[in-house]
């Protein structure tokens, strides 16, 4: 296994299994065996005792948050345990986190491939609708240019801004527990918080090093 940073997510369905470790040890061993032999770092292991029928998964949410913060990969023991778990798959897709399954490593590419096929189909549909709209406009006598000098519409610009703001807000929310921990330890200055985040290996939303100004922006988002 190649080097990298990982967050393990283990789940059992009943409190009895969680208390006894039944099922957990097998999952833990599968993850360890899969990663064994590489220059990897298992940053944390998240164990959740929850039915697959429940959509609210605090353990999964925390695992995904840690993956985003550290730029880590989520590793699970058995894909077949989660392949019919709609809550897991929907959360994983929305989180934008890399994942890999110990029992089926190629599934990562498979999932991405399926999503790519869907995206390609959507692009074809959009293209078809665009061509139809252009043809209708031309039939009405509207002059169609080659796109030179085209400006982004206010609606498109607003949508793009909203997407960026949503990502920034999510990143700030992911950082909130760590920021609270640093402050509780006596670190109050923006520069000190930035140094603490850098020392923990937590990158900014763009993958860079923290500065006092960037910390200030995150705190402003959290306070808003």
Give the residue numbers marked as catalytic.
13
Tokens of 147: 């796109």
Q: Are 54 and 15 in contact (CB under 8 A)?
A: no
Cα torsion at 104, 71, 177, 192 (round to 10°)?
A: 160
Secondary structure class of 99 (helix, strand, coil) = strand
Separation of alpha carbons 100 and 106, rounded Å: 8
Phi-psi region of 208 (alpha: psi -120 to 50; beta: other; left: phi over 0): beta
Separation of alpha carbons 123 and 224, rounded Å: 36
Secondary structure class of 91 (helix, strand, coil) = helix
Tokens of 145: 């240019």
């Amino acid at each position: 296994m190649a080097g990298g940073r990982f967050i393990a997510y283990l789940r059992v369905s009943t409190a009895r299994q969680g208390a006894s470790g039944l099922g957990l040890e097998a999952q833990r061993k599968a993850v360890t065996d899969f990663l064994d032999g590489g220059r990897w770092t298992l940053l944390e292991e998240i164990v959740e005792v929850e039915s697959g029928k429940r959509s609210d998964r605090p353990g999964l949410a925390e695992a995904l948050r840690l993956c985003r913060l550290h730029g880590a990969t989520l590793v699970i023991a058995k894909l077949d345990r989660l392949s019919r778990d709609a809550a897991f798959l929907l959360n994983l897709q929305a989180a934008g986190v890399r994942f890999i399954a110990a029992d089926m490593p190629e599934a990562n590419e498979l999932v991405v491939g399926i999503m790519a096929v869907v995206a390609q189909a959507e692009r074809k549909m959009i293209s078809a609708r665009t061509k139809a709209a252009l043809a209708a406009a031309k039939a009405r006598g509207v002059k169609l240019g080659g796109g030179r000098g085209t400006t982004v519409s206010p609606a498109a610009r607003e949508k793009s801004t909203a997407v960026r703001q949503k990502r920034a807000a999510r990143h700030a929310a992911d950082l909130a527990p760590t920021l609270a921990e640093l402050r509780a330890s006596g670190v109050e200055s923006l520069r000190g918080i930035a140094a603490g985040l850098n020392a923990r290996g937590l990158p900014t939303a763009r993958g860079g090093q923290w500065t006092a100004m960037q910390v200030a922006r995150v705190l402003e988002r959290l306070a808003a």
